[in-house]
Amino acid sequence: MSESPVFLPVRRLAGLVRSRAVSPVALAETFLDRLETLGPTYNAVVTVTRERAMAQARRAEQEIAAGRYRGPLHGIPYGAKDLLATSGGIPTTWGAAPLREQRFDFDATVIRKLEEAGAVLCAKLAMVELAGGMGYRQPHASFTGPGINPWNPGAWSGGSSSGSGSAVAAGLVPFAIGSETWGSILSPAGFCGIAGLRPSYGRVSRHGAMALCWTLDKLGPLCLAAEDCGLVLEAIAGTDPADPTTADRPWSYEGADVAGRRFRFGVIKGVAIGCEEAVRANFERSLETLRAIGTVEEVELPELPWEAITRTILHVEAASAFEDFIESGKIAELTAPEDHYTPYARDAILAKDYVKALRLRGVMAREADRVLSRFDALVGPGRAAVAPGLEQEFRSAIRGSVPDLMGAIGNGAGLPAVCVPNGFSDRGLPTSLQFMGRVYEENAVLAAARAWQSLTDWHRQHPAVDQPA
Amino acid sequence: MPAEAEPDTDIEVERRFALVRERYGDRLTPAQLDEVRTGVQGIVQTARALRAVRLENSDEPMQPFMPYRADP
């Protein structure tokens, strides 16, 4: 094969693997080498899983040679956020210094499903400690160092799925798995200029994943393009007896050609208020482009404390999930200084207020569905700002210092969203666009994002990354 | 004699903060305690936003409970 496999989307790599133009073993070696040589440049990797990867790649090669092709992920390398349990002595650190030797004797369901699809696990990827649940507010919040953005080494890669974002953007893996409780897939996807899909709550089993918030946590793919997110989601979606919150709704990816399809887009009134100028300007330009493929209608939401609802649920569940860790004082061993004390304040949340948030969550879900039922997707900026500097304290919707209406509603109501690049700031950092749909309508938001990417080439632009530090 | 409350003191914040300080104060520096107080202020503001919304008696928590019985 003369063409480099780096920065080729999964669909294209799959064609090459299936036709045996490229060998899964050679593919694994290429990406393992990149993870080992370039991974440290971006603080993207916790563990390179070379032994497991080569065994999986050799098996894929043999199976494909024997005519037993499993599907589009067969022989394709990937990385997993380091909160997914992996067997075989591979550490699963949750990004936290006190847990750097933690190991499990089983594979998370997502890891198992990807193995069944023939994908090749090449690395456990860096993340913000405990998925950011302790309240971090600057990038130095992982024992592997701050996630570094492939577009600018002075900028953060986002979080909490920091390595999943930077590894895909830097061409260290063709796709990665991340998790989102509030923003942890969309943030690294947006900051790194790639596609990130937050599936509906319950679409993907969390068995074997670190629990931060039981009713908010979702697992999903980060890829070079929206198309690839559909291919990966199909492999990992599905009900799982080990995770009773999984929805008994089979899902398959409808990757049909979107040429000529017309969409109905909604835009929440004022959704770009408070965004950085580059984000706002690129969003306005994006709406003009979207009018070429559908209608764009402004919608108003009723007055509700959307962010307060989701924030209260998040704070309470995270405080409970890590009760022992917090009360024992173990949080003092975490990397971010603010993680040493921030969670203590959550003891001040009253049970009655938490239950009020749960009652309001029902109102939120019904109102969101009422609005979304009229559209294929609501569109908005993927992030309110471009990636902050490595030494910069950032604003956070979880702390209440920046509005994130779509994030609050999308995560609070468990709605799917896909984030794709839509331009750059004058500092050369990506801005992004998100499409959010009704629950279980991943195909609708992916179709909208594919249509967007058929009109634009932001997703075909990649940072210059081939110089190790 | 107790100190007179500052005019802008928020009693609810102070009462809730006192609970947190009682539980964890011995492991925190004064600067960290100030940060925790700021966190409690945010929590109280968030709670007030939730309480400001009137709900119907029939608005249940969106948190399904399922009774459990082991087979058989």
Q: Are A400 and B46 in contact (CB under 8 A)?
A: yes
User: With left for phi above 0 and alpha for psi between -120 and 50, is residue A197 left, alpha or beta?
Assistant: beta
Sign of the alpha-carbon torsion through A393, A399, A403, A408: positive
Q: Find the helix or strand (DSSP H, E) in which A78 lies.
A: strand A77-81
Tokens of A323: 């009760």
Q: Is there a contact between A350 and B59 if contact means CB atoms under 8 Å apart?
A: no
pLDDT interval class at A467 (50, 70, 90): low
pLDDT tens digits, residue range A105-143? 999 999 999 999 999 999 999 999 999 999 999 999 999
Q: Which residue of B has its CA nearest to A361?
A: B62
Asked if A48 and A78 count as a contact pair (C-beta separation under 8 A), the reply is no
> What pLDDT does residue A469 have?
45
* pLDDT value at residue A233: 98
Picking from A349, A356, A359, the nearest residue to B43 by CB comes out as A349
Q: How far is B3 from chain A (nearest CA, A)?
A: 23
Task: Give the pairing type, strands A152-156 and A45-48.
Answer: unpaired
Number of Cβ within 10 Å of residue A228's Cβ equals 29
Q: Please confirm, yes or no, whether A160 is among the known catalytic residues.
A: yes
Interface predicted TM-score of the whole assembly (ipTM), two decimals: 0.90
CB B63 within 8 A of CB A215: yes
A215 contacts on B by Cβ (under 8 Å): 63
| CB of B16 closer than 8 Å to CB of B42 | no
Q: Do A411 and B54 touch, CB atoms closer than 8 A?
A: no
Rounded Cα gap, residues A141 and A143, in angstroms: 7
Model's pTM, two decimal places?
Answer: 0.96
The closest alpha carbon to A321, from A183, A211, A207, belongs to: A211
| Residue type for position A194 | I
By CA distance, what is B13's nearest residue in A?
A: A348
Kind plus residue range of the DSSP H or E element containing A231 = helix A226-236
Residue from A36, A40, A30 nearest A7 by CA: A30
A→B contacts (Cβ < 8 Å), by residue, are: 135, 215, 304-305, 308-309, 311-312, 315, 329, 332, 338, 340-342, 344-350, 353, 355-363, 365, 399-400
Q: Which residue is catalytic, options A23, A142, A157, A160?
A: A160
Q: Which two tokens stand for residue A339?
A: 């993680």
Task: State mean pLDDT over B8-12.
Answer: 88
Residue A81: active-site member = yes
Q: Do B61 and A340 touch (CB under 8 A)?
A: no
Q: How distant, in Å, are the alpha carbons of A127, A129, A140, A147, B17 from that of A157?
A: 10, 14, 11, 5, 35
Q: What percent of chain B has pLDDT over 70?
A: 89
Domains and CATH numbers, chain A: 10-460 (3.90.1300.10)
pLDDT band at A1 (very low <50, low <70, confident <90, very high): low
CB A356 within 8 A of CB A313: no
pLDDT (tens digit per residue) in A281-303: 999 999 999 999 999 999 999 99
Mutate to test the interface with B, among A215, A245, A347, A349 (most CBs of B within 10 A): A347
Select from A100, A318, A117 the least CA-distant residue to A215.
Answer: A318
What letter represents residue A133's amino acid? G
Q: Do A305 and B53 touch (CB under 8 A)?
A: yes
Residue B58: closest C-alpha in chain A: A359
List, for residues A354-383, the tens digit of each pLDDT value.
999 999 999 999 999 999 999 999 999 999
pLDDT value of residue A401: 67
User: Which tens digit of pLDDT belongs to each residue from A144-157?
Assistant: 999 999 999 999 99
| Beta strands across the sheet bearing A294-299 | A45-48, A120-125, A77-81, A175-180, A218-223, A195-198, A417-424, A430-436, A377-381, A263-268, A294-299
- Judge whether residue B6 has pLDDT over 70: no
- Predicted local confidence at residue A424, as pLDDT: 98
